Structure 1
Amino acid sequence: MKIRMILTGAVIPLAMLAGTGHPASAAAADPLADAFAKAAAAYEVPRDLLVSVAYSETHLDGHKGQPSADGGYGMMHLVTSKTLDRAVTLTKKPLSALKADDAANIAGGAAVLRAYADELRLTAAARKDAGKWYQAVAKYSGASAPEVARLYADTVYDMLAQGIRATTPGGETVTVPARTVTPDRGQYAKADDLDKPGTLAASTDYPSAVWAPAHSSNYAVSNRPTSDAIDRIVIHVTQGSYAGTIDWFQTGPRPNPTSAHYVVRSSDGAITQMVREKDRAFHAGNYNRRSIGIEHEGFVDNATWFTDAMYRSSAALTRNIADRYGIPKDRTHIIGHVEVPGTDHTDPGRYWDWTKYMQYVTGGGGGGGTNPHTPEEVCGSGYKVIDSQALGTAGTVFLLYNSANGNNCVATIKKISLGTASDTSAFLEVKDKARIEDAGKFEYYAGPVRAAAADKCVMWGGSVGTSKYESPFEHCG
């Protein structure tokens, strides 16, 4: 994940920016902005880091004191037996207030972050640099696996990078401008990066997913579809964050084991597989034997989580599963958790756009619609395709040749997350020459990568997400 921007420096009260000169009136008009400012000042936590943690957890929605799926409360997602209990000790505030009162909950989150910073021995000067808080943020996740803690912290810092403009359920707008930062990952620099293309990809059933296995107590080893036919795909909403859900499925044993085969991220449609499709995840009661479960980051009562990138990525996954098992692409076979007989769940809820989702599943657009770009367009006039390689359902990498000038060209054309910047690459290596690569977060394609290659062998390839291809040296003249 690329970390680009962050805010550092002093917090300026919104009342002063507005020119009123009356902070009290600003507090009345903007209670959450005031709560973040006060908590940041009291515990010497960078205000925008505090907002980013809250936004990453809940999109600044406290859900009226109702807990998330893994027992987290309020917009800071204070978790029972973890951060919530510590917040009680640190702030001396009542448990009920920390669960349901926004200002108290924000203060509780700030207090816990500061405690972690103290354990890391951050000095007063270091505490002013949001990049130095990375390990404290990773610990705040409560994740037992270092790679999941890194995923959580990277998400928080990526929010800081992009800047935040969020409207709360109460109608208040909270903003975080974007500034440059260098996160100090410390011990987490050695942890696997679950956002990096190719991370344990060989273990997944779906090429565009990364692999983070659930705890063995949270699913049943099976031999599907030999033992049980797979004829349903069940759509879920996590009632929590992406990283938090991955950690929850990796935690066990516990009284109510839970898992799903896949988890999809809201911001960019990234996918993590946690249970092999042959095995039975515990996600849909008496449909566990016959179905594959897909969890989607977010909360059923907040529509902001359901992004187009999420719909398109999930639909591409659903279409891929349906094609492999011969599952009809209709609402009888692709269902919400609420539609499972005997369930008491309501997900994916009234904000889930089934019309859009099924159009993406059935219309060939689930991977991102139709890419408006062709490899010939990307490489330019005179280039013709001479070879290609599908990158699962994520895209295709093309090798082209221009007979007029003896140049080869490589372009990778995406099929998923179209219009959304995501990891994509293309490379070309002429024998005995240095490799040339175009890699980054691109909306539609990577390339063109051109090189003179008349009478020369070439190695070529590229990637979209975790799906990648690298040829041997070939096309030798």
Structure 2
Amino acid sequence: MTVAAAPVFRRVRFVLGGALALITALAAPAAAGPAAPAAPVRAPSPLAVAFDTASARYDVPRDLLVALGYAETRLDMHAGAPSAAGGHGLMHLVHNPRQRTLDEAATLTGLDRAALRADPAANVLGAAAVLRAYADEAGLTATARDDLGRWYGAVARYGGAREASAARLYADTVYDLLRSGFSSDAGESVPGRAVTLRRGELERAAPGGIGTLSADYPPAAWAPASTSNYTVASRPGSHPVTYVVIHVTQGSYAGSISWFQNPAAQVSAHYTFRSSDGAVTQSVREKDIAWHAGNWTYNTRSIGIEHEGYVDNPAWFTDAMYRASAALTRSLTAKYGIPRDRAHIIGHIEVPGATHTDPGPNWNWTYYMQLVNGVTGIGSGTVATSGNLNVRSGPGTGYAVVDTLAPGATVSVYCQTAGTSVTGPYGTSTVWNRIGTNRWVSDAYVLTGHSGYIPGVPRC
């Protein structure tokens, strides 16, 4: 049947194409001279094709698929490395004792598990198949599937959370992206739109996805880890608290909180921070011993702080997250008398016997420690150029241009560092201003009211 149908499709397409060409020729005015060369047509990226294909094959809204992948990994395959919860690929297909979306994808698509883990197109296809299966089980008709809000239950189930509050937090994160819109480094762009959420039973879960506030640290929400994943204690009486250990989740914020609630995880942390806005959730009381450092002695003597993201992608390490985390660490050091230095505020990789590398080379210790020690000012400035000012991904002219700013634009300066020497309206300067995550401009083009470094603003 397929072989017979294909030529008919090609003939129809040819006729339609000829008709369109004829209509265009009849409607167009006579050319005054040689026709201008047609602009080159840019072929869609392989990732865009993968989302198009998966969306069409399984009748899953394309932008929903993209938003789910962005919430999980920012559409990054992370060189095939699994997340802390055993998730693979940009869509985070999971294989662990309590969640088996990878296995479900293999059954539904007929694809090999190795391909589903390592091939982006297969990974997207597998996620679409799983979401469609969940939608079918929820009774979504073809008409209902056209309503983005009706996929809420399938999305929540995809996240794998067993607790209603964590399931709602996961799904709300995906839908927040759909409503606000976003652009990824992978080239995918999703415009914001209004979505009416159909939360069903999850409507009764705590607003924002999390229940009561923390008894230890008021800005934090409280989402307790499974009692199988930490040790009850009475610190600091039973064990002195002398360290703060900095981690990176190797997964998403909502997914990590859910993982701590999974009895099979055998891991937890006291606090977890969200990348986008610095929101924080506590999962283990400070008096108790979280299982985070891989070293029992350090577990008993430390507070473990997780940060949403992956060690190989610095885009996760936002100023909002740095500043919120540093505020907690500053509070902890005051509460327990922990010195505010790098001998006591350490990375997971610095724990004796550590097998993990987090927070990795992209974590800015200089910036973080200045924030912990109270250097928390944010400067401001006005761009002065005759044309647009290039915004670069790092502090120097050798870094990629990621944006431009018009003359007169105002910027916030979160921290400053030395970089390439640049001559501009305000002289020659090696100072570069960080105006956002992976966004830098030369100080020679910014009127800040100060010559070079701004007092009270951290060094990066």
Among candidates 168, 175, 188, match of residue 174 of structure 1: 188
**In the alignment, is the contact (CA less than 8 A) between 1:204 and 1:210 conserved in 2?**
no
Q: How does 1:109-188 map to 2 (within 5 A)?
A: 109-168=127-186, 173-188=187-202
**Cα shift at 1:161:** 1.6
Question: Counterpart of 1:94?
Answer: 112
Residue type of the alignment partner of 1:357: Y
**Cα shift at 1:419:** 11
Question: % of aligned pairs identical?
Answer: 59
**Cα shift at 1:66:** 1.8
1:99/1:176 Cα in 2 relative to 1: closer, same or farther (>3 Å)? Answer: same
Q: When the two structures are aligned, how many residues end up with a matched partner?
A: 341
Q: Distance in 2 between matches of 1:102 and 1:344?
A: 28
Q: Distance in 2 between matches of 1:363 and 1:21?
A: 53
**Cα shift at 1:237:** 0.4
Question: Counterpart of 1:33?
Answer: 48
Q: Distance in 1 between matches of 2:170 and 2:223?
A: 14
**In the alignment, is the contact (CA less than 8 A) between 1:261 and 1:293 conserved in 2?**
yes
Q: Distance in 1 between matches of 2:355 and 2:142?
A: 50
**In the alignment, is the contact (CA less than 8 A) between 1:74 and 1:100 conserved in 2?**
yes
Question: Counterpart of 2:268?
Answer: 259
**What runs of 5+ residues in structure 2 fail to find an aligned partner?**
1-37, 381-411, 415-460
Which of 1 and 2 has greater Rg?
2
Question: Counterpart of 1:209?
Answer: 220
Question: Counterpart of 1:324?
Answer: 335
* Higher percent of residues as helix: 2
SS of the residue corresponding to residue 45 of structure 1 reads coil
Q: Distance in 2 between matches of 1:133 and 1:229?
A: 48
Question: Counterpart of 2:212?
Answer: 200
Q: Distance in 2 between matches of 1:300 and 1:109?
A: 24
Q: Which runs of 4+ in 1 moved over 2 A?
A: 19-22, 193-196, 369-372
Question: Counterpart of 2:250?
Answer: 239
Query: Is 1:248 aligned to residue 262 of structure 2?
Result: no
**What runs of 5+ residues in structure 1 fail to find an aligned partner?**
1-18, 373-417, 421-477
SS of the residue corresponding to residue 288 of structure 1 reads helix
Residue type of the alignment partner of 1:200: T
**In the alignment, is the contact (CA less than 8 A) between 2:168 and 2:209 conserved in 1?**
no
Residue type of the alignment partner of 2:74: H
**Cα shift at 1:204:** 2.5
**Cα shift at 1:123:** 1.4
1:176/1:20 Cα in 2 relative to 1: closer, same or farther (>3 Å)? Answer: farther
**Cα shift at 1:353:** 0.7
Residue type of the alignment partner of 1:247: S
Provide TM-score, normalisation by structure 1: 0.69
Question: Counterpart of 2:318?
Answer: 307
Question: Counterpart of 1:49?
Answer: 64
**In the alignment, is the contact (CA less than 8 A) between 1:228 and 1:289 conserved in 2?**
yes
Query: Is 1:71 aligned to residue 86 of structure 2?
Result: yes
Provide TM-score, normalisation by structure 2: 0.71
1:282/1:117 Cα in 2 relative to 1: closer, same or farther (>3 Å)? Answer: same
**In the alignment, is the contact (CA less than 8 A) between 2:165 and 2:209 conserved in 1?**
no
Among candidates 331, 344, 349, match of residue 333 of structure 1: 344
Among candidates 326, 332, 346, match of residue 357 of structure 2: 346
1:89/1:63 Cα in 2 relative to 1: closer, same or farther (>3 Å)? Answer: same
Q: Distance in 1 between matches of 2:267 and 2:49?
A: 38
**Cα shift at 1:370:** 6.5
**Cα shift at 1:193:** 2.7
Q: CA RMSD in A?
A: 2.0
Question: Counterpart of 1:229?
Answer: 240
Residue type of the alignment partner of 1:144: R
1:21/1:88 Cα in 2 relative to 1: closer, same or farther (>3 Å)? Answer: farther
Q: Distance in 2 between matches of 1:265 and 1:342?
A: 28
Q: Distance in 1 between matches of 2:170 and 2:155?
A: 8
**Cα shift at 1:298:** 0.7
Q: Distance in 2 between matches of 1:103 and 1:35?
A: 5
- 1:25-79 CA distances to partner (integer Å, 9 max, x unpaired)? 724xx11011111111111111111000000000000112221111101000000
**Cα shift at 1:304:** 1.1
SS of the residue corresponding to residue 300 of structure 2 reads coil
